[in-house]
C-alpha cells in the first residue's frame, strides 16, 4: 500500500494544499517556502517524532476556519483492498482518510472529532476509521524521516532507533510476508488456533472467548499462554 495524494489544511504556512504523490518524488523550492512544513504534516499524521501542537503548528495568519487536518489517499494492494471494509472502498481502488489535529466538528456521539476518519460514499464519516479486518488504525504503512541537519552516526546506527533501522525493518517485513516459510508458519498457527478453540481454560473459560494473547497463572504457579 502506498500514499497517492495528500491534502493539508491549516498547518503552519499551509492554509490548504493538495499534493499528488508518485512512487518516487522530489519536493523542491527556495528556503522558507514550506517544504519542511509539508513533510512535518505527514510526520504528524504518523506521529513519527512529531505530534501536533496548536501553538506551534496552527497558522499565524487569518484562516477561514479553526480546523487543522491532513487527508491521505492510499492505494492498497489487491489483498489489502479485499480486507478493507466495503463501505470505505472507492471506485478507483483507493480509500481516503482524514486525521484531525483540531476541529470544532462533532462525531456521531456528539463529541469533538479526534483521530482518523474515512470517507464513505464520497462523504466523510462521523465514525472513526476501523477499516481493516481485525486491525485498528495502525495499517497505514510508515514514514522514515531523516532530519536535514543530523549526524551520519545517528541515522545509521542499528543498536537503537534510526532511519536505517526503520528502513531495514520495513524491507524485512515485506520480505518475510512473501516468504514461503513464513506462510507455512502462519498457516500452522492458524490451524493450531482453530483446533484449540473447543478447548477450555482453567475455570471453564472457552478459548473462543479469548480475543488476544494473555498470560494466565495456573494453580501450580506455572504459566500458560493463550
Task: Name the stretches of the chain with pLDDT < 50.
Answer: 134-137, 211-226
pLDDT at 199: 57
Report the half-sphere exposure of 24 (CA within 13 A, side-chain side). Answer: 0
pLDDT at 226: 41
DSSP state of 34: S
pLDDT at 136: 47
8 A C-beta contact, residue 48 and residue 145: yes
For 27-41, b where at least 16 C-beta lie within 10 A, e where not — what string? eeeeeeebebbbebb
Domain region containing 212:
179-225
Please name which of 141, 127, 16 lies closest in space to residue 69, comparing C-alpha atoms.
Answer: 16
Please name which of 94, 93, 102 lies closest in space to residue 72, comparing C-alpha atoms.
Answer: 94
Does the pTM surpass 0.75? The reply is no
Please name which of 4, 21, 28, 198 lies closest in space to residue 97, comparing C-alpha atoms.
Answer: 4
Answer yes or no: is 6 within a domain: yes
pLDDT at 202: 57
Answer yes or no: is 159 within a domain: no
Helix, strand and coil in the chain, % to nearest 5: 30, 25, 45
- Cell numbers at 112, concatenated: 469533538
pLDDT at 62: 95
Answer yes or no: is 156 within a domain: no
Pick the last residue of a domain from 117, 143, 169: 143
Distance CA 161, CA 169 (A): 11
8 A C-beta contact, residue 120 and residue 88: yes
Total domains present in the chain: 2
Answer yes or no: is 19 within a domain: yes
CATH of the domain at 40: 3.40.50
Same domain, 9 and 120: yes
Distance CA 90, CA 193 (A): 34
Q: Position of cell 504459566?
A: 223
Answer yes or no: is 150 within a domain: no
pLDDT at 209: 54
Helix (H) or strand (E) holding 216: strand 215-217
Amino acid at each position: 500500500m502506498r500514499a497517492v495524494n495528500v491534502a493539508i489544511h491549516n498547518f503552519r504556512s499551509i492554509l490548504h494544499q493538495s499534493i499528488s504523490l508518485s512512487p518516487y518524488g522530489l519536493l523542491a523550492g527556495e528556503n522558507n517556502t514550506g517544504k519542511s512544513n509539508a513533510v512535518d504534516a505527514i510526520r504528524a499524521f504518523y506521529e513519527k517524532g512529531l505530534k501536533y501542537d496548536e501553538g506551534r503548528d496552527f497558522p499565524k495568519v487569518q484562516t477561514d476556519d479553526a480546523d487543522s487536518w491532513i487527508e491521505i489517499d492510499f492505494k492498497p494492494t489487491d489483498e489489502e483492498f479485499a480486507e478493507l471494509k466495503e463501505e470505505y472502498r472507492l471506485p478507483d481502488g483507493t480509500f481516503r482518510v482524514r486525521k484531525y489535529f483540531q476541529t470544532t466538528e462533532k462525531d456521531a456521539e456528539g463529541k469533538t472529532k479526534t483521530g482518523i476518519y474515512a470517507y464513505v460514499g464520497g462523504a466523510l464519516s462521523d465514525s472513526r476509521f476501523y477499516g481493516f479486518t481485525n486491525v485498528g488504525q495502525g495499517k497505514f504503512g510508515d514514514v522514515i524521516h531523516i532530519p536535514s541537519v543530523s549526524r551520519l552516526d545517528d541515522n545509521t546506527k542499528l543498536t537503537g532507533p534510526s532511519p536505517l533501522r526503520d528502513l531495514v525493518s520495513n524491507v524485512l517485513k515485506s520480505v518475510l510476508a512473501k516468504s514461503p516459510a513464513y506462510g507455512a508458519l502462519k498457516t500452522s498457527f492458524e490451524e493450531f488456533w482453530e483446533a484449540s478453540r473447543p478447548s477450555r481454560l482453567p475455570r471453564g473459560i472457552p478459548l473462543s472467548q479469548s480475543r488476544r494473547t494473555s498470560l494466565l497463572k495456573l494453580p501450580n504457579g506455572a504459566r500458560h499462554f493463550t
